[in-house]
Amino acid sequence: MSHHDDHQRANDDHRAGHRANGIRVGGERPGAGPLRRSTTRRIVVSLAAGALAVAACSGDEGEAEEPTEPTIPADAEQIVAASAQAMGDTTSVRFRLERGGAPVFIDPAEAVSLSTAAGEFTVPRSARALLEVEVAGDLATELGAVAIDDEVWLSNPITGRFETLPPGYDIDPSLFFDPEDGWRPLMESLDDVELVGSEERGGGQRYHVTGTAPAEQVETITARLVRGQEVEMDFWIQPVTGEVRSAEFTTQVPDGAVTWVLELSGYGEEFDIGPPEGVET
């Protein structure tokens, strides 16, 4: 083998080391050169994606046609009261949460920030989600998350295997939609409620309602990603069922403003959510 071949192999090994370090959660921030050249390549965690293929779908394919009458009276207080009842009675739902603006971290080293979370929830506390995250600010990857009651598993970004949620990580997908402890009291406790009007959104007519949500319930419905903040929220509510179909709000972190968009669909559908394969329960 030539000296040139030896030199090339050494460079390849060096670059591989940087790539591995680049997705090591909580590790040191890698050097700019090799990592930046690889950031356009999306890392797909095959085991997590396979186990959560349904959770990755954020569309409404196959969803039953929405009822169009009788509608809730076009009064803000009556709409919110009907919505609180409907959200508290929910047995299952599909969700998609999207973050924009400043990063929001899910790990104690503040190396892994959430971009989106899409998944499914069923009562009493079972959920699975596919998380799109950024590592060290410039490497995009996907993680799978499954929660059954108080057990939470997160896929390893290198092996794809599910492991018990590491200490210090704060992402429980079952909290994105907690009808009893999150959504019902949130809708019941809204202040300064106003009806903006009726608008087309998400494939149907919606009541657009605004109000200020209490900090405790905001923390619950954002899976503890937002803490200690009363938040002005916009809701788009199905005018017959009272189900919240969309919500938008802005929160603050030390690095600036964070925008959130939550889409909800598939109410009442059956989702078979169990522990990931290969984990001890």
So what's the pLDDT on residue 244? 97
The helix (H) or strand (E) run that includes residue 220 is helix 215-221
Mean pLDDT across 166-183: 83
Looking at the structure of the chain, the number of domains it has is 1
Mean pLDDT across 164-184: 84
Residue ranges making up the domain that contains 190: 46-57+70-265
Which is more confident, 246 or 29?
Answer: 246
Highest mean pLDDT among 12-21, 24-33, 49-58, 178-187: 178-187
How many other CB atoms sit within 10 Å of the CB of residue 86?
22
Residue 241, burial from CB neighbour count under 10 angstroms (0-12, 13-18, 19+): buried
Domain for residue 82, yes or no?
yes
pLDDT digits (tens, 9 = 90+) for 101-114: 999 999 999 999 99
So what's the pLDDT on residue 182? 87
Domain for residue 241, yes or no?
yes
Domain for residue 33, yes or no?
no
Domain for residue 144, yes or no?
yes
So what's the pLDDT on residue 82? 98
Residues 115, 58: contact at Cβ < 8 Å?
no
Domain for residue 18, yes or no?
no
Q: How confident is the model at residue 91 (pLDDT cuts 50, 70, 90)?
A: very high
Closest CA to 153 of 280, 24, 15: 280
Q: What's 112's domain CATH number?
A: 2.50.20.20
Please state whether the predicted TM-score (pTM) of the whole model is above 0.85: no
Mean pLDDT across 78-88: 97
Domain for residue 39, yes or no?
no
Instruction: Give, in order, the Cα–Cα distances in Å from 254 to each of 68, 102, 120, 217, 248.
Output: 44, 9, 31, 21, 20
Domain for residue 184, yes or no?
yes
**250-266 exposure pattern, b = at least 16 Cβ within 10 A, e = fewer:** ebebeeeebebebbbbb
